[in-house]
Structure 1
Amino acid sequence: MNAGQLTWKHALGVAAVVFVVAYAALAVWNAHGHAMPQNSWIAVGVVVVMAAMVLFAGNEIRIYLKGESTRPPSPQRSRSTLVAAQACILAGAAFAGWYAGTAAVDAGRMQTTTGPSSFLLAVVLIVVCVALVVSGLVVQWWCKLPEDDEDKKRRTPKGPPGEVV
């Protein structure tokens, strides 16, 4: 793993922390008679568009690194694509945790008139947020540079086995 590379474990950790905080806060909020925050179907579209945009940008890098394109992307664009992919991983995980918290609270309100529809929308939002995390992980993987001989030389120990260098 490269330094600075995010993994599914990072995303799961972020989602878990946000879920615990969101569930606790929303359960207390709802128990005091306040209305739950309303989710929107527009958010589903926004998240899907974000995932598609980062995949589109990452595909240019992937094509170049596979040797299918002779026109290299600019270093700024490559860096921006990697940063966007990592932002999708973290933001998608945080939003998935939030929506999981709302779904957990909504699961206890299924007998109300808005309970089932709110719960369904929260589940759909969880799914698209997980898809956003996956798209970020895929693009981050696409942006990984191949190892060169210098990288291998730096990792090879210079002394006999067992010697501390």
Structure 2
Amino acid sequence: MKTRRTPWWQYVIGAVLGLLAGIGLASYGESSGLSLIGAPWIVPGLLAVLGVIVLILALQVHKYANTDPKKRPHSFINPTIAVYTLVLAKALGLAGATLAGWYGGQIVVSLSHIEADFYAHAVTECAIAAVVCIADMIIGIIGEWLCQLPPNEGPENLKIREAKRRSDIAQAYKR
């Protein structure tokens, strides 16, 4: 299976869409009197735990992919789990960018009312959630990088180097 790295602009689009949605939600809450802003404290906690889990899984995949096949334990990591880790890292990066924009949009609208205790508390909740989401986005990007396979072609590959050495020896015997 060949996958591509997530382009940088997809993170930007996610953050902008999240920002617009957060601004829209906070503005609707102001006009309707139904307040939907803020983030319960469990949300940043769960997002932080998810980020740590993805990072640990990605480090295991990276260790497995960069270990010499002769020295690997047979049941070190399941290839399906490696693919799921890659997909999870991609999803965490994009979701982190979008949710950071979401909470950032709520902060932007709520800053004009920060003198009220409710809005001050909501801004604090959203700021903490946004920081955790940015950290998750970074972990997702790093996790995606960690799940890359080492190059299988080129002069730095052991198999290519060994084949070239054998070819050079064969050429020397022909002379």
Instruction: Give the TM interval when normalised to the shorter protein.
Output: 0.7 to 0.9
1:12-91 equivalence runs, <5 A = 12-67=12-67, 70-71=72-73, 72-91=76-95
Larger gyration radius, structure 1 or structure 2: 2
The farther-off stretch of 120-129 and 141-150 is 141-150
**In structure 2, C-alpha distance between the alignment counterparts of 1:44 and 1:129, rounded to whole Å:** 8
SS in 2 for 1:108: helix
Deviation at 1:3, TM superposition (A): 5.0
Q: 1: distance between equivalents of 2:111 and 2:8?
A: 26
Say whether residues 1:133 and 2:137 are aligned partners.
yes
In 1, the alpha carbon distance for the partners of 2:145 and 2:138 equals: 11
- Is it true that 1:119 corresponds to 2:119 in the alignment? no
Gaps of 5+ in 1: 151-165
Give the Cα–Cα distance (whole angstroms) in 1 for the partners of residues 89 and 50 of structure 2.
10
Q: Provide the residue aligned with 1:109 in structure 2.
A: 113
Q: Distance in 2 between matches of 1:37 and 1:120?
A: 11
* Corresponding letter in the other structure for 1:70: R
* Number of residue-to-residue matches in the alignment: 149
Identity %: 23
Deviation above 6 Å: which 4+ runs of structure 1? none
5+ long unaligned stretches in structure 2: 155-175
User: Which secondary structure state, in structure 1, belongs to the residue aligned with residue 117 of structure 2?
Assistant: coil
Task: Give me the TM-score of the superposition, normalised by structure 1.
Answer: 0.81
* Contact residue 30 and residue 36 of structure 1 kept, 8 A: no
Q: TM-score, normalised by structure 2?
A: 0.77
Task: Please report how far the alpha carbon of residue 126 of structure 1 lies from its aligned counterpart in structure 2 after TM superposition.
Answer: 0.5
